[in-house]
Amino acid sequence: MHSALLAIAALLCAMAFVAAVSQLSRNDSARELTPPPALAPIDLPASSAIGPGAGIFVEYADGSGGMGCTAGFLVHTATGEPGVLTAGHCNRPGGPGKVTMNLGGVLPYATVGTFSQTVSEGVHNEQHDIGLIVLGGDDIPRSAAVGASLPVSGVATNLQIGQELCKFGMGSGEATCGTITEITKSKVVFLAPGQCGDSGGPVYLNEGDGTVRAVGILIRGGIPNTPKPGCSAPARFSVAELIQPWLDKWRLTTVTAGSPVG
């Protein structure tokens, strides 16, 4: 009888041990399936400063997601606040979307600032597409030069068909250029290829002396006879929103070579 009781006790202990191990295994599996918090929402190219051509990530204010875009020209507001222009559709829902960037390859991404103006009317004709980010947050160096290497000398307003314009976008990772084919009241179309992620980037006119003049903000691209190409292939032409009307409307001043960036 005593031996039988010992056998039953041993069996119960073994069953309890198996149950405990099984529970522990389930807990470990649950922990393994829980991903660590994301330090980077998307893979942005590293930049040494915020300025025209730097990659940015816009975190929508309503929590619905975000978008990777390119920073445009640095500006100052009428009250002296530093800011940077980009495409309005980068902050698709509107509101004070938070903007971050990959500063020198350090994670998590540095906070650039928030949107204070968003205009995103559509993609047809004279529908406008531009946004203003007011800089603030982390202490991030600023560079008014395109790609941190081409100083901006001013704003070009007297454009002509056949002139060559260039753009710089994080998707392309370099400057691409092409001739102007169309100029409207608020837009300029030119034959420069582009990639998704280039939106918001600087569009400029080379002066031939190592400096450039600001023209616009890249808002979209396209492929002839392809209504909605998406990101499946590089764009064959680019469309920019001219910035001078918005500088006037929002009372902004473009930061140029030699002027304070802070």
Regarding pTM above 0.85, the answer is: no
Domain ranges of the chain: 54-135, 145-244
Q: What is the pLDDT of residues 68-119, one digit of tens each?
A: 999 999 999 999 999 999 999 999 888 999 999 999 999 999 999 999 999 9
Residue 73, class by beta-carbon neighbours within 10 Å (0-12 exposed, 13-18 middle, 19+ buried)? buried
For residue range 15-63, list pLDDT tens digits in order.
Answer: 444 444 344 344 433 344 444 455 678 999 999 999 999 999 999 999 9
How far is 92 from 44, CA to CA, in rounded Å?
19
Query: Is 206 in contact with 166 (CB distance < 8 Å)?
Result: yes
Query: What is the CATH number that goes with domain 145-244?
Result: 2.40.10.10
Instruction: Classify residue 1 by its DSSP letter.
Output: -
The closest of 65, 255, 71 to 154, measured between CA atoms, is 255
Answer whether 201's CB lies under 8 Å from 207's CB.
no
**Helices within the chain (DSSP H only):** 2-33, 244-249
Q: For residues 203 and 239, give the distance between their C-alpha atoms in angstroms, rounded to a whole number.
A: 9
Query: Which of the 8 DSSP states describes residue 89?
Result: G
The CA distance from 77 to 99, in Å, is 18
Pairing of strands 164-169, 187-190: unpaired
Which residue do the tokens 């099984």 mark? 22
- The pLDDT > 90 percentage for the chain reads 71
pLDDT at residue 225 is higher than 90: no
Chain centroid to Cα 122, Å, comes to: 18
Pairwise CA distance, residues 13 & 189, whole Å: 79
Amino acid 12: pLDDT: 42
CATH architecture assignment, domain 54-135: Beta Barrel (2.40)
Q: Do domains 54-135 and 145-244 have the same CATH topology?
A: yes
Which three-class secondary structure state does DSSP give residue 31?
helix
